[in-house]
Structure 1
Amino acid sequence: MSLAFPFLKGALAKMHKWFQESLEPLTKQWLKYIQQPGIRCVDETSYCIDGIKYWVWVATSNEVCVLMLAPTRSSAEVEKLLGADFKGILTSDCYSAYFRQSAMAKQKCLAHLERELESLKTSRFQANREFAADVQQVLATARIHYRHYHGRNLTLEDLGSKRTEVENSLQKIFKATPKKGWPYDAQRLINRLKRHWEEWFTFLTYPEVKPDNNDAERALRPIVIHRKVSGGARSDWGAELVTQMFSFLETMRLQGQNAIVQLCELLSLAGRSPPGLEM
């Protein structure tokens, strides 16, 4: 016996639209929350709407995740996501759109840097390989101090002094220039490390901050899979439904809530009856 769904496409589209409109007030509420002071991990990925390239931006906190659809990958979109005068701590990769965003402090993702250092260890230039190994050791030491603090083996004051030691170790590596100078790849990373000097070890000053941007990447992973499977959305509101639904699911995960139960409760309290399904 074959199973069939006798719903017309138009009826299903109306139902999807109803879901999107029901979720919209809640996602706007969460966006206001994300813009308040706190620790926020941010990232972005591409997404297509009817074949046109858009971007999905994400900001996460301990309890809320917001995915925002935008037409560009510019700093203006970061401002829409976090607000013009964000007072919290911002964790991100080194993409230039985050440079202009205001924040009390910033943390650059160590995992991104460590991946680049790992690739340098196979370079044909010995100076590249030695540079990568030395910087990796400094980053590993910083992570050890971070774990010791959270294991209650270091005080906050001790952790702050460890940051100074770690930064001094990194400076010594920069100054140990080979006779022929640093190869291009090592010099490129040195320039980046210097450009964001105050943003690599923020987690040793504010230990509630994580050294990586994994939370934002984890929140984007489902929408990346959806994009690969579906190819994107066919309408603006359809794309909004995708971002709102994944915002809802990730927020429920962060809060330890049952997503199905909470979604049913949300829809029942929305004050809007679902459209009839024509069969």
Structure 2
Amino acid sequence: MKQWFEAKLDHLAQKSDTAKALRYVLRHWDGLTLYLEDGRIEMDTNAVERAMRPIKLNAKSALFAGCDEGAENWALLASLIETCKLNGVSAEHWLSDVLTKLVNGWPAARLDELLPWASTYTMHALDPRLAA
């Protein structure tokens, strides 16, 4: 499909909406097809968008983050917390563990081991009432 898009792009007016759309797809091709390589990744973002909706409703809070960098940090933290929720991980315990490991010199080559879906801090492991 990628080769077909590339071939069609050569025959379109470069300023056309279709050409712009094809260039966008080709520019993001690796990200758009990542779900084919990793079974944990959903084909669409509906689950993430639903999980983020409550945060979106609270987006006005980000306006008072103080600066663009503060708003970006707020968005990053909100995304990590929602990722924990989607993976059944206690965000509080996960974040505490990850920050401790990073401060103590966790190797950069092993950062993928710290991602929420690799965490052992599942809600069920922390609260026996949830294990039922």
TM-score normalised per structure 1? 0.22
Look at both structures and tell me which one has the larger radius of gyration over its CA atoms. Answer: 1
TM-score normalised per structure 2? 0.43
Structure with higher RCO (Cα < 8 A, 6+ apart): 1
Q: Which has the higher strand share?
A: 1
Q: Which has the higher helix share?
A: 2
